[in-house]
Each structure stands twice: as structure tokens, then as C-alpha cells.
């Protein structure tokens, strides 16, 4: 998935931060990262599905770059 498309999706999620919208990014048809915007903020919460690790990002560019790297990298064996 292109970085610009990821940024657009994250901007949309943050635009509607008063409702509970989640965006799931997949890798090889497996849910990989779930993103939501914390209520009434511009803080993105990323949940890495495989490890259930949470990360928080205030920068859409930073979060999008991380997501792009994760979902576009070759699958681990």
C-alpha cells in the first residue's frame, strides 16, 4: 500500500475522532495493525495484532511511515 494512501486513511480516522473508528491494515491477508484515534485528540493508537503491543503517535506522517514499513516489508519466516 502506498504511503500517501495510508496517510489519507489516518487523516480520516483522526478527522472523526469523536466516534470510534478503527482501521485495520493487513499483511499477506492477515490482520497486522489496528489503528484508532483516541477520543477528542489527534493521537493515533496503533495495536500490533501479532504481539498485542500498543504504540501512540501524534504525527500522522510518523505513524504512516511505520505502518508502510510494517505492511510492505517481506513476510517473516
Q: Strand ranges (DSSP E) for the chain?
A: 22-27, 30-37, 44-48, 53-57
pLDDT for the residue numbered 77: 45
**Residue 55 cell numbers, joined:** 504504540
Q: What is the pLDDT of residues 3-59, one digit of tens each?
A: 999 999 999 999 999 999 999 999 999 999 999 999 999 999 999 999 999 999 999
Please tell me the distance from the alpha carbon of residue 30 to that of residue 57, in angstroms, as a whole number. Answer: 23
Please tell me the distance from the alpha carbon of residue 7 to that of residue 77, in angstroms, as a whole number. Answer: 28
* Per-residue pLDDT band at 76 (split at 50, 70, 90): low
| Domains, in order of start, for the chain | 3-72 (3.30.720)
Please tell me the distance from the alpha carbon of residue 31 to that of residue 40, in angstroms, as a whole number. Answer: 26
Q: What is the pLDDT of residues 61-75, one digit of tens each?
A: 999 999 999 999 886
Q: Which pTM does this prediction carry?
A: 0.91
Taking alpha carbons only, the member of 74, 65, 66, 62 closest to residue 48 is: 66
Taking the chain, what is the end-to-end CA distance rounded to the nearest angstrom? 21
Amino acid at each position: 500500500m502506498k504511503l500517501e494512501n495510508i496517510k489519507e486513511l489516518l487523516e480520516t480516522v483522526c478527522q472523526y475522532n469523536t466516534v470510534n473508528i478503527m482501521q485495520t491494515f493487513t499483511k499477506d491477508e492477515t490482520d497486522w495493525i489496528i489503528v484508532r484515534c483516541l477520543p477528542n485528540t489527534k493521537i493515533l493508537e496503533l495495536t500490533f495484532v501479532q504481539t498485542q503491543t500498543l504504540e501512540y503517535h501524534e504525527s500522522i506522517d510518523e505513524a504512516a511511515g511505520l505502518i508502510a514499513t510494517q505492511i510492505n516489508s517481506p513476510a517473516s519466516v
